[in-house]
Amino acid sequence: MLTREKAYAELTKYVQNKNLLKHMLGVEAIMKGLAEHFGEDQEIWGLAGLLHDIDYEETKDDPQQHSLKAAEILTELGLPSEVVQAVKVHNYVHGIPRASLLDQALYAADPVSGLIVAGALVKPDKKLASVDVQFLNKKFGEKSFARGANREQIKTCEEMGLDLDTFLDISLKSMQKIAVELGL
């Protein structure tokens, strides 16, 4: 299987946008935190998070192809079928059912990373350390805040048996662990 280092090297062949790379690092961190919480394989779950938008720069103008192209790339790279499937179904446009816990986790983790980053960016010091779950919960209810962070998609954390507070807590703590890498 692809090591994390090789996976990151492959990722940077497809993605040059630094903010997009940081997004994928954030989702990777969240996925590892969720894997730890559920007793799942952190390496596998981390790779799903890290590589989920590997095709984004290529497909950003064609949402119908986003995640399908990524699944092709990940298959060619030899990633496990469970990772390929989770990446494929994370794009709701396709309407593919989320059948596994990994599928559900990636689907919810993708937008929550944006909510957390936006939460840090409105703090005076622009640091993840200044963000807490109570603050995120307040911002979650403000429709004008972090509009790109789909609230309905985030709330699918309940399909994994996690209430919103627990999901936000795991996600925030996971991203705080890599705050330096994220520049936050």
- Helix pair angle (4-14, 42-51), 10° resolution: 10
pLDDT for 106: 98
Residue type, 117: V
For residues 50-67, average pLDDT: 96
Give the pLDDT band of residue 1 (cuts 50, 70, 90): confident
In the three-class reduction of DSSP (H, G, I as helix; E, B as strand; rest coil), residue 113 is classed as helix
Residue 18 scores a pLDDT above 90:
yes
Percentage of residues of the chain with pLDDT beyond 90: 98
- What's the rounded Cα separation, in Å, for the pair 16 and 112? 22
For residues 145-163, average pLDDT: 97
Residue type, 18: K
Residue 59: give its domain's CATH number: 1.10.3210
Q: Is the dihedral of CA 170, 173, 177, 180 positive or negative?
A: positive
pLDDT for 130: 98
| Range of the structural domain that residue 163 is part of | 4-182
State pLDDT tens for residues 63-110. 999 999 999 999 999 999 999 999 999 999 999 999 999 999 999 999
pTM above 0.95, yes or no: yes
What the block records as the tokens of 173 is 């703590």
Q: For residue 81, how many C-alpha atoms fall within 13 Å in the half-sphere facing its CB?
A: 2
State pLDDT tens for residues 124-148. 999 999 999 999 999 999 989 999 9
Phi, psi dihedral angles at 126 (to 5 degrees): 55, 40
DSSP per residue, 122-149? TSTT--GGG--HHHHHHHHT-TTTTTTS
CA distances from 73 to 57, 89, 102, 144, 147 (A): 13, 15, 19, 35, 29
Q: Exposed/middle/buried for 93, CB within 10 Å: 0-12, 13-18, 19+? A: exposed
Residue 119 scores a pLDDT above 90:
yes
Give the pLDDT band of residue 24 (cuts 50, 70, 90): very high
Total of domains in the chain? 1
Q: Mean pLDDT score of the chain, rounded to an integer?
A: 97
Tally of helices (H runs) and strands (E runs) in the chain: 11, 0
